[in-house]
Amino acid sequence: MTIDLPFIWAGLIAFAVLAYVLLDGFDLGIGILFPFLADREERHLAMNTIAPVWDGNETWLVLGGGGLFAVFPLAYAIVMPALYPLIIAMLLGLIFRGVAFEFVHRTRRMQGAWEFGFWAGSLVAAIAQGMALGALVQGIAVEGRAYAGGNWDWLTPFSALTALALVVGYALLGATWLILKTEGKTLARARRFAMWLGAGLIVLIGAVSLATPFLRPEYLERWFGWPSGAWSAIVPILLALAVWQLWTGLRRDGDHLRPFLATVAIFVLCYAGLGVSFYPNIVPPALTIAEAAAPDSSLLFLLVGAVVLIPMILAYTAYSYWVFRGKVDPADGYH
Amino acid sequence: MLDSFSAIDLARFQFAFTISAHIIFPAFTIGLASFLAVLNGLWLWRRDEAYRRLFDYWKTIFAVVFGMGVVSGIVMSYQFGTNWSVFSDRTGPVLGPLMGYEVLSAFFLEAGFLGIMLFGRERVGDRLHMAATVIVALGTLMSAFWILSVNSWMQTPQGYSINDVGQFVPEDWWLIIFNPSFPYRLVHMVLAAYLTTAFVVGGVGAWHLLRNRDNRGAAIMFSMAMWMALIVTPIQILAGDLHGLNTLAHQPAKIAAMEGHFESFPEGRAPLVLFGLPDDAAGETRYKLEIPLLGSLILTHSLDTPIQGLDAFPTDERPPSALIFWTFRIMVAVGFAMLGIGLWSAWARWKGRLHEARWLHRAAVLMAPSGFLAVLCGWITTEVGRQPYTVYGLLRTADSAAPLEAAAVSASLTAFIVVYFLVFGSGTYYVLRLMSKEPQNAVDIDEIGPTRAAGITPVAARPTATHVGATGS
């Protein structure tokens, strides 16, 4: 029996991207919600809930990019130039919001400016990621081993829709994270945000889901053809269950974990839905997982490390979350 | 203004600019992480409050610099694809897994334990906190290991073959990772990072000694830094010499450019060009100031080994020489100035005047940023010296770039320049302001604020806990 290394690696890269979306999703969501919080004290409290973990969360993005370079170099070489303005905007946005964690406490005079940067950087990064997702789903023009489209191919109504959906989705992750990590007025406010964001996200997921199968004939076939259609019917059913969990979690006082987990489940299911559309492509419409893969010797060499190191990473990341567990108390912090 | 440049020139400017800005941060944090581990170890061993206060003092600075290193580093991991997509496609099978190992074995390790190192002492206890501190330091060194292996392979590629679509594919991972220039480059860079940190720490200590010679924290950091200057600088000069010999064996054109030798010396007996103006178009170094024979002695450790000049290479295989010639000299000059400070401090220490030697302190303040200058100049020497190739001798820079329009790259380059000067300029200012606070003495938290890069600390309720160390674990 031969092991299909490209397939395994597609799964691992998909896992890294999903981990990034979920983990940095709630970080970015808190940045997006920043201007809607009550005052500076509440904003800093919200920032404190993610301060110990944001760096680790963002490392998954480096793994996604670095991993793509390592195991699917052709996909990396085609997608990055195709999405050039989006990637640059995302990187610049991440700079502003990454340094803000320290900078807001290093200055009085410019504090407001770095808070603004934290919000704007988070928002720009989320929009860029959402648009990149939309552009990828629409498909990318390839000729030979290079991107063959123009500078602005990524800018379409569909990519604007996916950007809006991701911004709302991240904001919902952020709001439900705040429900988990705060108390009192902040908790109540986060819950109200989550209600509205949850409703908005459902509408947007519906819109994206309706548009996607009609973007390309093969998507229609993968969603509604037989036998793959049977599998893809399961995703919407599970999605409805997750939405129900979110709703009941938000209605019930004292259940502070369920809304966050339900939102995570919604993200995972949408991601699985994307997987149904994509497979076996890595860059729709032309490039497949197998075509983009590096030779097996590269895949195997890195797989040995990944098999040993990723479980360790998950373990000490979980430990770090455990160390900083519980509600963040604005009055006495961590000592 | 940027309109007159081609897309590839702009992409090169952008890479040079973003990587130069980035290297400043790891050059400092690699050394600082180890310094923090040593300080924390000394505190646990001797239970002397001064070490713990120094740890807290430098960890706040570390947090700011590390944050800037993270965000500028993410840019690098994507820029290979955005601007150098052909390079990425060709080298991905060889270089990608090395970078993958860097992420898996270094970046996650640093990020995972940084929060505990900065804020977890009270939560996890002294022992685990010490472990986290050591792990972060190891993470920075692992990161240096992998990324220098990648860079070295681009300089001295081996262990590969080329497949039918033109990709470099791995044949022998051991040969790829431990390629000929890697051990030299790794040692040279890690020592450079340690020296960079030592001179920053020494400069800050000297600054505070000049203002208050009874400041014990300043005295401790100045003394530790001067030991580093005395012991590590000679080792670094030796490592640099060996690195140069290795480069001569593998990239003779780079050495010729560094030396300003346009003409070959088939009989050896090459002079050392101290100064001059290399002129690529004319093919000569003008206004040379030379020392006879010394060039051969330094390069080949003999008098009669033949040495190639740039004339041994076709003009389209030569690196641009003037920049390499000068950056190399600046790096070497900084190295010898560091050696001078180290020897001067040894003399002052022997005389028992280390903490009173005002002129030594002033010189150390002046030398505080010298490590950054040397690191940048050294990297320019080796990277420009690799031109006109990205993978030396095999893949030309001109054939490596992404199919982007010049307008797109000039827009992104402009954005990077504006954002980097704004963000990292502000960050540098905040770091300098932190350094200007006197160590050891209790600091009013309202003045500098708590450290937040990767942790949660009390805001105003218990201001003394973070910086004065009033709470035990």
Mean pLDDT (10-residue bins), chain B, 473 residues: 78 93 93 94 89 91 91 89 90 93 91 86 88 94 95 94 92 94 95 96 94 89 95 95 91 90 88 88 85 87 87 90 93 96 94 91 95 95 92 90 87 93 93 88 46 44 36 32
CA atoms lying within 13 Å on the CB side of residue B310: 27
- Spatial distance between the Cα atoms of A74 and B95, rounded to a whole number of angstroms: 13
- Spatial distance between the Cα atoms of B193 and B372, rounded to a whole number of angstroms: 9
- Spatial distance between the Cα atoms of B107 and A66, rounded to a whole number of angstroms: 11
Chain B nearest CA to A148, separation (Å): 8
pLDDT at B225 (0 to 100)? 95
Helix axis angle, B406-436 to B182-211, nearest 10°: 40
Residues 156-195 of B with CB under 8 A from A: 163, 165, 167, 169-171, 173
Chain A nearest CA to B126, separation (Å): 14
On the question of pLDDT at A197 being above 80, the answer is: yes
Chains A & B: contacts with CB separation below 8 Å = 292
Which chain A residues contact residue B471 at CB under 8 A?
335
pLDDT at A233 (0 to 100)? 79
**A20 touches B: beta carbon within 8 Å:** no
Q: Which of B66, B88, B150, B391 best tests the A interface by mutation, with the highest count of A CBs <10 A?
A: B88
Mean pLDDT for A237-253 is 89
C-alpha A287 chain-centroid distance: 23
**B69 touches A: beta carbon within 8 Å:** no
pLDDT at B20 (0 to 100)? 93
A65 vs B86: CB contact, 8 Å cut-off? no
ipTM, interface predicted TM-score of the complex: 0.89
On the question of pLDDT at A335 being above 50, the answer is: no
Mean pLDDT for A11-35 is 93
- Residue B389: helix, strand or coil by DSSP? strand
pLDDT at B346 (0 to 100)? 94
Which chain B residues contact residue A44 at CB under 8 A?
459
C-alpha B415 chain-centroid distance: 24
Cα B464–B470–B473 angle (5° rounding)?
Answer: 120
Based on the number of CB atoms within 10 Å of its own CB, is B135 exposed (0-12), middle (13-18) or buried (19 or more)?
A: buried
Cα A204–A208–A211 angle (5° rounding)?
Answer: 140
Chain B nearest CA to A32, separation (Å): 19
Backbone region of residue B268 per phi and psi (left: phi > 0; alpha: psi in -120 to 50; beta: other values): left
- Spatial distance between the Cα atoms of B265 and A276, rounded to a whole number of angstroms: 66
Residues in contact with B209: Cβ distance below 8 Å, sequence separation at least 6, in sequence order: B215, B218, B219, B222, B355, B361
Nearest neighbour of A145 by CB, restricted to B75, B77, B89:
B89
Nearest neighbour of B71 by CB, restricted to A80, A98, A301:
A98
Which chain A residues contact residue B461 at CB under 8 A?
331-333
- Spatial distance between the Cα atoms of B159 and B173, rounded to a whole number of angstroms: 7
pLDDT at B464 (0 to 100)? 36
Mean pLDDT for A296-322 is 90
B101 vs A335: CB contact, 8 Å cut-off? no
Q: Which of A23, A55, A282, A291 best tests the B interface by mutation, with the highest count of B CBs <10 A?
A: A55
On whether the CB atoms of residues B132 and B55 are closer than 8 A, the answer is: no
pLDDT at B1 (0 to 100)? 52
B423 vs A96: CB contact, 8 Å cut-off? yes
Q: One-letter amino acid identity for B366?
A: L
pLDDT at B442 (0 to 100)? 42
- Residue B195: helix, strand or coil by DSSP? helix
Chain B nearest CA to A169, separation (Å): 23
**A285 touches B: beta carbon within 8 Å:** no
pLDDT at A218 (0 to 100)? 79
pLDDT at B3 (0 to 100)? 64
**A184 touches B: beta carbon within 8 Å:** no
- Written as six digits, the tokens of B118 are 């900065």
B122 vs A334: CB contact, 8 Å cut-off? yes
Q: Residue B208: name the closest of B337, B355, B342 by CA.
A: B355
On whether the CB atoms of residues A9 and A64 are closer than 8 A, the answer is: no
pLDDT at A2 (0 to 100)? 66
Q: Which of B15, B61, B74 best tests the A interface by mutation, with the highest count of A CBs <10 A?
A: B74
**B455 touches A: beta carbon within 8 Å:** yes
On the question of pLDDT at A322 being above 90, the answer is: no
B451 vs A102: CB contact, 8 Å cut-off? yes
- Spatial distance between the Cα atoms of A289 and A299, rounded to a whole number of angstroms: 13
Nearest neighbour of A98 by CB, restricted to B67, B123, B459:
B67
On the question of pLDDT at A32 being above 90, the answer is: yes
- Written as six digits, the tokens of B10 are 């702009």
- Spatial distance between the Cα atoms of B331 and B336, rounded to a whole number of angstroms: 9
pLDDT at B120 (0 to 100)? 79
Residues in contact with B315: Cβ distance below 8 Å, sequence separation at least 6, in sequence order: none
pLDDT digits (tens, 9 = 90+) for B1-33: 566 788 889 999 999 999 999 999 999 999 999
- Spatial distance between the Cα atoms of A126 and A314, rounded to a whole number of angstroms: 24
Mean pLDDT for A134-157 is 88
pLDDT at B441 (0 to 100)? 55
Q: For tokens 């150390």, name the residue.
A: B364
B99 vs A53: CB contact, 8 Å cut-off? no
Which chain A residues contact residue B85 at CB under 8 A?
76-78, 80-81, 146-147
Nearest neighbour of B67 by CB, restricted to A47, A74, A101:
A101
**A62 touches B: beta carbon within 8 Å:** yes
- Residue B131: helix, strand or coil by DSSP? helix
Q: In terms of pLDDT, which residue wins out, A180 or B404?
A: A180
Q: How confident is the prediction for chain A on average, in pLDDT? A: 88
Residues 233-292 of B with CB under 8 A from A: none
B70 vs A67: CB contact, 8 Å cut-off? no
